[in-house]
């Protein structure tokens, strides 16, 4: 598996679904974009914009002409999910961009989104490209309960605001699958384990746990993780979601405990960055940057809880 490679999802019950490793942050098996070869062809998630050509190459490999693509759907507007939307829209002139309504304006004018991303990711910004604005007349705003009709497939929209207020997940009923965005956490297939995602500034633990309960109610057989790849959970979907609930809860508790011990937020961030390891997956720089960003997100959420 390498950046740029495209794979057909070969899990029982899945059809017409592919994923491409976008090589996000120069890291293999970290960022995925999905392609549905439906009657109305669709892309779900767009990466950070860097290497967006990999997604276009995937369309060609699958046999979908750029002019035939009709849907570019993103679970939320964080740039690791939506950063390539404008570039793909430019390359695929008949596709509309389907985005949660509360974040749609920031894809039309991404200046605030860029500023917030730079603050959140720090020196990881070097891996990004400036996002292209999406023309307003090509935006389709999504609300909870909406359905994106793809003909022989559909995407049912469910609000999932714990990770970010502008996040949804897409349920695909013909495959009994969900495109989970970041609502189900980060799946590391090489290690078959879950990792937390808690970036600033909207992360809310209780909201994330509520989103996991919502996903459990859907009871999917397959979770399509943006980070990273498809996972067959048909044996026990509830266990897979509870696993992430435990990981996330323990993560927040560990940051809160270390803050009490060190009494200095910069030291807390430094501690978790320097002690982060993920042998056999990602690269060391990405592991440390991820830990630092996630720590800052938890610290901000703890401050917000204290204010409440």
In the chain the domains, ranked by start, together with CATH numbers, are 6-307 (3.60.15.10)
Answer with the residue of higher pLDDT: 39 or 308. 39
pLDDT at 166: 97
What is residue 224's DSSP assignment? E
Mean pLDDT of 207-216: 98
Pairing, β 71-73 against β 42-44: parallel
State the DSSP H helix or E strand holding residue 255, giving kind and residue range, or none if neither: helix 237-262
pLDDT band of residue 142 (cuts 50, 70, 90) is very high
Tell me what pLDDT residue 201 has. Answer: 86
Query: What are 105's two structure tokens?
Result: 């304006």
Among 47, 102, 103, which residue's Cα sits nearest to residue 72? 47
Average pLDDT over residues 24-52: 97
Give residue 43's pLDDT band: very low, low, confident or very high (50, 70, 90).
Answer: very high
pLDDT at 196: 97
Q: Do the beta carbons of residue 192 and residue 240 sit within 8 Å?
A: no
Residue 1 pLDDT: 74
Q: What is the mean pLDDT of residues 62-87?
A: 98
Mean pLDDT of 158-169: 97
Q: Tell me what pLDDT residue 304 has.
A: 83
pLDDT the model gives residue 308: 55
The average pLDDT across 113-120 equals 92
Supply the pLDDT for residue 122.
87
Mean pLDDT of 173-199: 97
**pLDDT tops 90 at residue 95:** yes
- Whole-number Å distance between alpha carbons of 89 and 47: 13
Q: Which of 40, 74, 10 is nearest to 152 (CA)?
A: 40
What is the average pLDDT value for the chain, to the nearest integer? 96
Residue 183 has pLDDT above 90, yes or no: yes
Report d(CA 19, CA 222) in Å as an integer.
14
Cis ω on the peptide bond leading into residue 259 (within 30° of 0)?
no
Residue 176 binned pLDDT confidence (cut-offs 50, 70, 90): very high
- What pLDDT is attached to residue 307? 67
Within 10 A of 90 (CB to CB), how many other CB atoms are there? 15
Contact status, residue 33 vs residue 22, Cβ threshold 8 Å: yes
Task: Name the pLDDT band for 240 (thresholds 50, 70, 90).
Answer: very high
The answer to whether the pTM exceeds 0.95 is yes
């Amino acid at each position: 598996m390498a950046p740029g490679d495209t794979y057909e999802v070969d899990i029982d019950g899945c059809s017409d679904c592919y994923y491409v490793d976008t090589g996000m942050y120069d890291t293999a098996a970290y960022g995925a974009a999905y392609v549905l070869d439906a009657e109305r062809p669709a892309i779900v998630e767009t990466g950070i914009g860097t290497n967006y050509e990999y997604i276009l190459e995937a369309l060609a490999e699958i046999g979908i002409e750029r002019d035939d693509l009709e849907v570019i759907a993103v679970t939320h507007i964080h740039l690791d999910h939506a950063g390539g939307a404008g570039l793909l829209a430019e390359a695929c002139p008949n596709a509309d961009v389907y985005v949660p309504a509360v974040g749609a304006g920031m894809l039309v004018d991404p200046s605030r989104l860029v500023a917030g991303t730079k603050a959140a990711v720090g020196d990881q910004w070097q891996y990004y490209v400036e996002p292209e604005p999406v023309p307003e007349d090509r935006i389709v705003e999504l609300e909870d309960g909406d359905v994106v009709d793809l003909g022989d497939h559909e995407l049912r929209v469910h609000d999932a605001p714990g990770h970010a207020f502008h996040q949804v997940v897409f349920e695909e009923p013909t495959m009994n699958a969900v495109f989970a965005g970041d609502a189900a956490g980060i799946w590391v297939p090489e290690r078959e384990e879950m990792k937390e995602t808690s970036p600033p500034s909207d992360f809310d633990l209780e909201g994330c746990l509520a989103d996991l309960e919502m996903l459990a109610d859907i009871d999917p057989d397959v979770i399509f993780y943006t980070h990273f790849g498809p996972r067959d959970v048909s044996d026990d979907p509830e266990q897979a979601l509870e696993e992430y609930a435990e990981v996330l809860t323990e993560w927040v508790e560990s940051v809160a405990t270390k803050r009490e011990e060190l009494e200095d937020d910069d030291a807390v961030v430094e501690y978790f960055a320097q002690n982060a390891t993920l042998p056999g997956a990602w690269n060391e720089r990405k592991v440390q940057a991820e830990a630092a960003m996630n720590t800052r997100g938890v610290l901000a959420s703890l401050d917000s809880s204290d204010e409440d």
